[in-house]
Amino acid sequence: MAGRMTGGMGALILGLFLAARPALGQVRAVELSMDNDGFTFGLQRPTDWFYTDGTFLEVLGDWKLSGLASLGVHGASCATAAQDRPCVVTRVRLGQKIFTPEDLFFYQPGVVDRPYAGWLYLMLGRQRLTPRRTTDVSFQVGVTGNPSLARQMQETLHGLLGLTEPQGWQYQIPFEVDFAGTYRDTWHLPMTRADGPVSLDMEPDWAATLGTERTSGQAGLFLRLGWRAPAGSLPRGPGSRRFYVVARVGEEGELVLRDLFLDGSTWRHSISARKEPLVGRTRAAFDMGWDRIDVRLAVTRSTREFRGQDAPHLYGTIALRLRR
């Protein structure tokens, strides 16, 4: 099974590479990131349930989009805009998320536990970056069920790590195509002088998501402490050899009206769980970079997301970005 999954993923990546080859010259950065509730960095004992794993490959580029494809975000490319001036970057992401119940050996989750579910999706996004504000508009479409490859991925990982195979994937949320669009605004309000190596910013943000995959609204407040950090979210210049460090921590709250992975299938009956409409999250991230490499370590602690969840859930993120 592992060989078939690896071969299929390899063929998909090769096909995407050949199809996108003419546009590779406009790529600014490539980022590979992983979420996992085993990445707790010593903050708590690792778990293996709820939102248990996510893998994302994101490409940032200077592609010019027109019409509806521009997602309403226009401006000069970050490749041509003057330093510290507003610019726009296009984001394309291929991602997978895996959700499981707490009891991996319960054959019919969903009554007091959350369902098994997978999500394999493609996202197109546009970001407008300025020293004081970041606007992000994105649209994603994906599949659930067996085509999401979540079962195959988790069974392969558990086999490689010598862990017991989960027993309830036959009851996962079945195949369907779903979508969601998101608008997010983040402000970067400096609290220190701009000419020093140390910076402290206050960053309030809000976002709205509408779609069959998720419908929600959220708002948060973060503090960002940096040393030699770029202003706001502006990208660093090519080949910048200034080592930088950024720490960001804050709280956000979300009003959830629709969650595909708890409410179940959009178009037919499936196993589901009673979601909590109000969810709070504490996020902390540590970024550092030098030359063409950026590294991020982050943790997210979420309050209860459904009625049968007894305690908050924590997962970590490890990300590596390579810039041209």
Taking Cα atoms as reference points, which of 282, 233, 251 lies closest to residue 132? Answer: 233
**Total domain count for the chain?**
1
User: How many Cβ atoms are within 10 Å of 139's Cβ, its own excluded?
Assistant: 17
CA distance 257 to 317: 26
pTM: 0.87
Maximal C-alpha separation, the chain: 60
pLDDT at 33: 97
3-state SS class at 262 = helix
pLDDT at 214: 98
How far is Cα 134 from Cα 87, in angstroms, rounded to an integer? Answer: 10
CATH code (residue 290): 2.40.128.140
Kindly give, in sequence order, each residue whose CB lies less than 8 Å from that of residue 32, ignoring residues fewer than 6 positions away.
56, 57, 58, 319, 320
Per-residue pLDDT of the chain (324 residues; tens, 9 = 90+): 434 444 444 555 555 544 444 456 588 889 999 999 999 999 999 998 999 999 999 999 887 776 656 666 777 777 665 556 788 889 999 999 999 998 877 656 556 789 999 999 999 999 988 888 999 999 999 999 999 999 999 988 888 877 778 888 988 999 999 999 999 999 999 998 877 889 999 999 999 999 999 999 999 999 999 998 876 555 555 445 678 999 999 999 999 999 999 999 998 888 899 999 999 999 999 999 987 899 999 999 999 999 989 899 999 999 999 987
Instruction: Give me the domain span that covers residue 110.
Output: 2-323
CA-closest candidate to residue 256, choices 223, 291, 293, 207: 207
**Crossing angle for the helix pair 150-161 and 2-20, to the nearest 10 degrees:** 120
The secondary structure of 53-92 as a DSSP string is EEEEEEEEE-----GGGGTT----BTTTSPTTS-EEEEEE
pLDDT of amino acid 3: 42
